[in-house]
Amino acid sequence: MRNVLHLRGPVLLGPEQVVGQAWVVDGRLTLERPSGDAAVLEGWVVPGLVDAHCHVGLGPHGEVDRDTAEQQALADRDGGTLLLRDAGSPADTRWVDDRDDLPVVVRAGRHVARTRRYLKGFAEEVEPDGLAEEVRRQARRGDGWVKLVGDWIDRDTGDLAPCWPIEALRPAIAAAHEEGARVTAHCFAESSLADLVEAGIDCIEHATGLTEDTLPLLVDRRVAIVPTLINIETFPGIAAAGEAKFPAYAAHIRALHARRHQTVRSAYDAGLPVYAGTDAGGSLAHGRIADEVLALAEAGLPPVAALDAACWSARSWLRRPSLGEGAPADLLVLDGDPREDLRVLQGPRAVVLRGVVR
């Protein structure tokens, strides 16, 4: 027997592309009415949301056990996130791919960091002469992405500083591209951005250090950013914890936090691709993509653009299908039009993953 659902819409195939209804037949979307009976789901339909920066299998102190990783993925699913870009994890989460009830995961392998320049237990740590080789290895471990730690606190100077010379970045990013992978980098500071962009980076995570000097470089190269605004909300606490030992770092972190909304709005206004990511894992809870979308809107993105950052454009950027004829039926049914009221994302009426209501 076929598994058939009738989606009595509106169904948002794109930000401005709306059809009145659709059906799910054996896990696939169709716009043609099938024969026979169907269970009805009524409400506004959008593709399953995308968290473009999270970490399944990662906790505050590094790798977590499989049960904990499973709960992280389930929290994302139940919050409406059905496509995850795992932006670095020490855990092997390939088992998720065998579970029809868990979101699709696009992996970036493990973080690649400079020795003793990142959180303990999170990353593969190398020196610049070993960066290209490690990047190539992580490209083969991931699903088309590699994650670098572009800057971190330098304990000698007491402030954020770049981790890599451009002479190491160029061959490393080229190696990833040769392997068919794109490269992204954790960047809080201003000083790390120009070299990463000149070396061919594809994306910047956090991007709090964007300025009027570096923004045109990113625009020219079409480098995307994932601002992770709900993570940036933790900056005042981070500053307070480090102030006694590193006062310059604390002041810098506070300044980056203070201008976070202006930074994101300036990037959007300049035409930079902006995608939604929560940075869940580590210390942040999974399942909060709706909060991140609302934070993008608070930063000044129009509501439909904030939605798109976790929806149609985000899926296209990750080279995964959205809603359309024959596409996998990974979707949400909502109580209202999310283009008009983003708050409806916070409590989906139904979550449909691979054609099954979860």
pLDDT at residue 1, as a whole number: 47
Residue partners of 182: CB distance under 8 A and separation at least 6:
144, 145, 146, 176, 202, 203
CB 327 within 8 A of CB 317: no
The dihedrals phi and psi of 348, each to the nearest 5 degrees, come to: -55, 140
Per-residue pLDDT in tens (0 to 9) along the chain, 358 residues: 468 999 998 999 999 999 999 999 999 999 999 998 899 999 999 999 999 999 999 999 999 999 999 999 999 999 999 999 999 999 999 999 999 999 999 999 999 999 999 999 999 999 999 999 999 999 999 999 999 999 999 999 999 999 999 999 999 999 999 999 999 999 999 999 999 999 999 999 999 999 999 999 999 999 999 999 999 999 999 999 999 999 999 999 999 999 999 999 999 999 999 999 999 999 899 999 999 999 999 999 999 999 999 999 999 999 999 999 999 999 999 999 999 999 999 999 999 999 999 9
The span from the first CA to the last CA of the chain, in angstroms, equals 19
Strands 151-154 and 111-114: unpaired
Res 36: pLDDT: 87
pLDDT of residue 10: 98
CA–centroid distance for 312 within its chain:
14
288/214 Cα distance (integer angstroms): 30
Exposed/middle/buried for 200, CB within 10 Å: 0-12, 13-18, 19+? Answer: middle
Rounded-to-integer distance, Cα 55 and Cα 69, Å: 9
pTM higher than the cut 0.95: yes
The pLDDT of residue 3? 85
Sign of CA dihedral 26, 28, 31, 32: negative
C-alpha 207/C-alpha 144 separation (Å) is: 21
25: left (phi over 0), alpha (psi -120 to 50) or beta: beta
Distance, in Å, from the CA atom of 157 to the CA atom of 143, rounded to the nearest integer, reads 36
Name residues whose C-beta falls within 8 Å of residue 12's C-beta, 6 or more positions apart in sequence. Answer: 18, 44, 45, 46, 47, 323, 338, 339
Residues with Cβ within 8 Å of 36's Cβ and at least 6 positions away in sequence, in order, are: 2, 4
Domains of the chain: 4-46+321-357 (2.30.40.10), 49-317 (3.20.20.140)
- C-alpha 87/C-alpha 41 separation (Å) is 33
What pairing do the DSSP bridges indicate for beta strands 182-187 and 159-162?
A: unpaired
DSSP-derived letter for residue 342 is G
Question: Is 335 in a helix, a strand, or coil?
Answer: coil
- Enumerate residues 6+ apart whose C-beta is below 8 A from 119: 282
Residues facing 85 on adjacent strands? 106
